């Protein structure tokens, strides 16, 4: 299979065999988007048009607060609020739900510039990943050697696979994805059970395994697809 930037990126992420590979690529894409926004992009007119329109979700506002300088952040917030004021405010009737401004107000709450960039990145990544899975046997082997696939990304992959892969390969892909995810779920449950039973006085002083010690963090990470502990 011919190598290009996308296949190299997919190989790179899967080659790490560390955690859920889709979580890994999302983490990198998120860091890149936040760094980009916190840097010169904040002052780029085309990007400002987009950030004014989309704004940011609470999680990504938090990231920007931690990473951005005060002046560019204040400027970005100020013009985003201008747009909210112009497009969402000015309701003069009592039936807000029927006012076109209600729809725009709701949109402002749902959209995020960083999330939308991440969605685009992930679509491209998955497109490359499915192509490699269909055409490259060594990548299929690499896929099956992953540490695990988290619950939301197992759902995403199973949902997207039907359109991306042909029947024979699709069956193999779904079985492998399900195995990688279900095995991890069982491992995390064991860790949680061990942690719970360590509170029993009969087990006092018994050392905890690493799997049990961080089982709540691992479980939340698995269920949400958001890292809780490196």
Residue 60 near Zn ion by CB under 5 A = yes
C-beta of residue 149 within 8 angstroms of C-beta of residue 22:
yes
Q: Least CB distance from residue 31 to Zn ion, whole Å?
A: 13
Would you say 47 or 208 has its CB closer to Zn ion? Answer: 47
Q: Residue 180, interface with Zn ion (CB under 5 A)?
A: no
Give whichever of 122 and 134 is closer to Zn ion, judged by the CB atom.
122
Pick the closer one to Zn ion by CB: 60 or 80. 60
Asked whether position 20 contacts Zn ion by CB under 5 A, the answer is: yes
Stretch that binds Zn ion, among 49-57, 82-90, 99-107, 188-196 (CB under 5 A): 49-57
Residue 221 Cα to chain centre, angstroms? 11
Instruction: Give the per-residue contact string, 109-148, with Zn ion (x = CB under 5 A; - = no).
Output: ---x-xx---------------------------------
Nearest-Å Rg of the Cα atoms of the chain is 22
Q: Return d(Cα 23, Cα 127) in angstroms, integer.
A: 16
Among positions 10, 13, 23, 88, the unique one binding Zn ion when judged by CB under 5 A = 23
The one among 6, 28, 47, 57 contacting Zn ion by CB under 5 A: 57
CA distance 54 to 114: 9
Q: Shortest distance, CB of residue 84 to Zn ion, whole angstroms? A: 16
Ramachandran angles phi, psi of 2, nearest 5°: -65, 135
CA torsion through residues 73, 74, 76, 77, sign: positive
Shortest distance, CB of residue 174 to Zn ion, whole angstroms? 16
CB of 181 vs Zn ion, minimal distance in Å:
9
Binding to Zn ion in span 62-101, by CB under 5 A: none
Cα separation, 85 vs 181, in Å, equals: 45
Q: CB-hemisphere CA count at 13 Å for 177?
A: 23
Please state the three-class secondary structure of 21-38 as a single string: HHHHHHHHHHHHHHHHHH
CB of 35 to Zn ion, least distance (A): 15
CB 66 within 8 A of CB 39: no
What residue ranges bind Zn ion (CB under 5 A)?
20, 22-23, 57, 60, 112, 114-115, 150, 153, 225
């Amino acid at each position: 299979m011919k190598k290009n930037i996308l296949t190299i990126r997919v190989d790179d992420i899967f080659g790490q065999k560390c955690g859920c590979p889709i979580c890994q690529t999302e983490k990198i894409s998120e860091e890149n988007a936040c760094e980009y926004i916190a840097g010169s992009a904040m002052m780029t007119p085309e990007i400002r048009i987009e950030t004014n329109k989309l704004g940011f979700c609470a999680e990504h506002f938090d990231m920007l607060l931690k990473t951005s300088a005060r002046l560019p952040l204040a400027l970005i917030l100020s013009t985003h609020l201008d747009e909210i004021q112009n497009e969402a405010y000015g309701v003069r009737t009592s039936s807000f739900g029927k006012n076109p401004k209600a729809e725009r107000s709701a949109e402002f709450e749902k959209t995020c510039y960083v999330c939308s960039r991440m969605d685009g990145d992930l679509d491209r990544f998955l497109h490359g990943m499915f192509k490699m899975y269909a055409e490259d046997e060594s990548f299929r082997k690499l896929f099956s050697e992953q540490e695990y696939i988290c619950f939301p990304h197992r759902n995403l992959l199973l949902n997207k696979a039907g359109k991306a892969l042909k029947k024979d390969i699709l069956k193999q892909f779904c079985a492998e994805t399900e195995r990688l995810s279900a095995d991890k779920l069982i491992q995390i449950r064991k860790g949680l059970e061990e942690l719970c039973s360590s509170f029993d006085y009969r087990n006092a002083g018994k050392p905890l395994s690493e799997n049990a010690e961080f089982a709540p963090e691992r479980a939340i990470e698995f269920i949400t697809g958001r890292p809780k502990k490196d």
